[in-house]
């Protein structure tokens, strides 16, 4: 993980510029497939921001978000921009930070009507807590916040679909209000970014400035007035959140030398007095009350790595059978594992890098299974990656 870098993504150039204005000395960074990032600092802090434009839609945002995660291994991914308010709770210019995201277009059409089948992604607890703290402190606001009073930050659901919503009486509007009446705002990218974060084990936060009401009153004249202000407010809150995320990450990171000394102290001996023998246990990691043994495989060749990955597949399947991994996660994990085995057999410097990246993505998928994570860590190291 890059301990000092946060990725910020936007869908519109106006939103992009609102963030970029808060970055110092941005430098271009190009992804091998052509995606253009600008990486810059935040003045007076150690926080760096990698900024990119996704364009509209959940599909595009998901692809760019995954590229950003793989390219930078950031502390977090923030999606920042404007949205329409669904209720009167949020005023124009206010900021909404998602507690969870609905992909509201999921459903099944039956004889008695359309039944909702949404997907939902909750915001990471630590990011939600930090966002709430910043809102209470209320020192993130620019001095020039415009007329109508200082913007407020609201926390609640955001609905993400594939259409621009601008009606109070359309079938789409009625559907949203019937099935997602706790959503504060509506937009078109959050579900894609949330899914990318989920599959790659990266924390995601969705931050939106309210630029319209999504109720039929939206107009070009109002967009020209409110979109820049809403985008600026969302950018101000997001950049402050990024700075605090990096600050917290720095505070909790143990220096490498300290980690090594701590690792040495984890070597403990358990004396079996009943049998008059001594059992030596070297703890690779300790989590809560569980000790995971340091059983690094001896990987000396691509053939050895292939064999270890094949063995790891058996562990994956066993955890799936025991219910520790759901069907979707297991299917995605097996696909990543097969991809890693294919690239590992190529035995080149570039293929080793791709293998390490794939195994890191796999690690994100199985993050809920610490035993599997512990078994995967030495395999990532064997490819030249960092565990």
pLDDT in tens, 322-359: 788 888 888 888 988 888 888 888 888 888 888 888 88
Asked if residue 182 and residue 85 are part of one domain, the reply reads yes
Asked if residue 149 and residue 57 are part of one domain, the reply reads yes
Residue 267 binned pLDDT confidence (cut-offs 50, 70, 90) = very low
Asked if residue 241 and residue 147 are part of one domain, the reply reads yes
In a domain, 288, yes or no: no
In a domain, 146, yes or no: yes
In a domain, 229, yes or no: yes
Query: What pLDDT score does 306 carry?
Result: 82
Asked if residue 234 and residue 132 are part of one domain, the reply reads yes
**Model-wide pTM > 0.75:** no
User: Could you tell me the residue range of the domain that residue 349 belongs to?
Assistant: 295-382
Asked if residue 90 and residue 190 are part of one domain, the reply reads yes
DSSP 30: E
In a domain, 268, yes or no: no
Asked if residue 225 and residue 349 are part of one domain, the reply reads no
Asked if residue 173 and residue 243 are part of one domain, the reply reads yes
Residue 286 CA, chain-centre distance (Å), reads 25
Among 252, 275, 303, the domain boundary falls at: 252
Distance CA 165, CA 187 (A): 8
Q: Which helix (H) or strand (E) holds 267?
A: strand 267-272
| 215 vs 379: which has the higher pLDDT | 379
Q: For all residues of the chain together, what is the average pLDDT?
A: 83
Contact 53, 37 (CB under 8 A): no
In a domain, 118, yes or no: yes
Among 193, 228, 252, the domain boundary falls at: 252
Listed residue (70, 209, 76, 78) closest to 152, CA to CA: 209
Asked if residue 326 and residue 221 are part of one domain, the reply reads no
In a domain, 260, yes or no: no
Task: Report pLDDT digits (tens) over 53-69.
Answer: 999 999 999 999 999 99
Asked if residue 134 and residue 70 are part of one domain, the reply reads yes
Asked if residue 96 and residue 235 are part of one domain, the reply reads yes
Buried b (16+ CB within 10 A) or exposed e, 362-383: bbbbbeebeebbbbbbbbbbbb
Instruction: Count other C-beta atoms under 10 Å from residue 55's C-beta.
Output: 13
Contact 301, 324 (CB under 8 A): no
Residue 321 binned pLDDT confidence (cut-offs 50, 70, 90) = confident
Among 196, 217, 252, the domain boundary falls at: 252
Task: Give the long-range contacts of residues 60-63, CB within 8 A, separation 24 or more.
Answer: 60/189, 60/192, 61/9, 61/11, 61/189, 61/190, 61/192, 61/193, 61/196, 62/191, 62/192, 62/193, 62/195, 62/196, 63/192, 63/196
Look at the chain and report how many structural domains it folds into. 2
Percent helix, strand and coil across the chain, each rounded to 5? 45, 25, 30
Instruction: Count other C-beta atoms under 10 Å from residue 22's C-beta.
Output: 21
In a domain, 280, yes or no: no
Asked if residue 314 and residue 167 are part of one domain, the reply reads no
Buried b (16+ CB within 10 A) or exposed e, 79-90: bbbbbbbbbeeb
Vertex 383 angle, CA 380 and 47, to 5°: 65
Asked if residue 183 and residue 102 are part of one domain, the reply reads yes
In a domain, 339, yes or no: yes
Instruction: List the CATH number of the domain containing 13.
Output: 3.40.50.1580
Residue 375 CA, chain-centre distance (Å), reads 23
Q: Which helix (H) or strand (E) holds 381?
A: helix 370-382
Task: Report pLDDT digits (tens) over 66-114.
Answer: 999 999 999 999 999 999 999 888 899 999 999 999 998 877 888 877 7
């Amino acid at each position: 993980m890059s301990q000092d870098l946060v990725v910020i993504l936007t869908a519109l150039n106006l939103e992009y510029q609102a963030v970029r204005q808060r970055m110092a000395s941005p430098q271009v960074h190009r992804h091998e497939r052509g995606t253009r990032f600008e990486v810059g600092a935040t003045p007076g802090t150690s926080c760096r921001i990698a900024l990119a434009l996704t364009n509209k839609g959940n599909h595009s945002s998901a692809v760019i978000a995954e590229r950003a995660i793989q390219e930078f291994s950031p502390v977090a991914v923030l999606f920042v921009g404007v949205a329409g308010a669904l209720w009167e709770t949020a005023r124009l210019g206010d900021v909404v930070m998602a507690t969870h995201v609905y992909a509201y277009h999921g459903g099944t059409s039956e004889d008695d009507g359309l039944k909702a089948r949404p997907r939902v992604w909750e915001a990471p607890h630590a990011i939600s807590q930090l966002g709430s703290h910043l809102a209470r402190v209320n020192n993130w606001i620019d001095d020039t916040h415009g007329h109508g009073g200082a913007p407020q930050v609201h926390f609640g659901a955001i609905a993400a679909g594939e259409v621009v919503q601008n009606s109070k009486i359309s079938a789409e509007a009625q559907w949203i209000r019937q099935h997602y009446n706790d959503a504060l705002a509506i937009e078109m990218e959050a579900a894609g970014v949330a899914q990318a974060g989920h599959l790659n084990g990266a924390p995601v936060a969705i931050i939106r400035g309210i630029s319209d009401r999504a109720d039929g009153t939206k107009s070009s004249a109002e967009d020209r007035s409110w979109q820049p202000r809403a985008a600026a407010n969302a950018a101000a809150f997001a950049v402050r959140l990024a700075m605090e995320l990096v600050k917290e990450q720095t505070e909790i990171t143990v220096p490498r030398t300290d980690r090594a000394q701590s690792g040495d102290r984890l070597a403990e001996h358990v004396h079996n007095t009943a049998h008059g023998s001594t059992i030596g246990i070297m703890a690779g990691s300790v989590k809560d009350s569980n000790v995971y043994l340091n059983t690094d495989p001896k990987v000396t060749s691509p053939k050895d790595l292939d064999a270890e990955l094949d063995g790891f597949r058996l562990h994956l399947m066993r955890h799936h059978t025991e219910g520790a991994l759901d069907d979707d996660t297991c299917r995605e994990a097996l696909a990543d594992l097969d991809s890693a085995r294919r690239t590992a057999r190529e035995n080149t410097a570039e293929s080793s890098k791709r293998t390490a990246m794939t195994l890191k993505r796999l690690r994100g998928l199985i993050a809920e299974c610490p035993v599997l994570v512990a078994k995967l860590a030495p395999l990532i190291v064997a490819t030249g990656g960092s565990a």
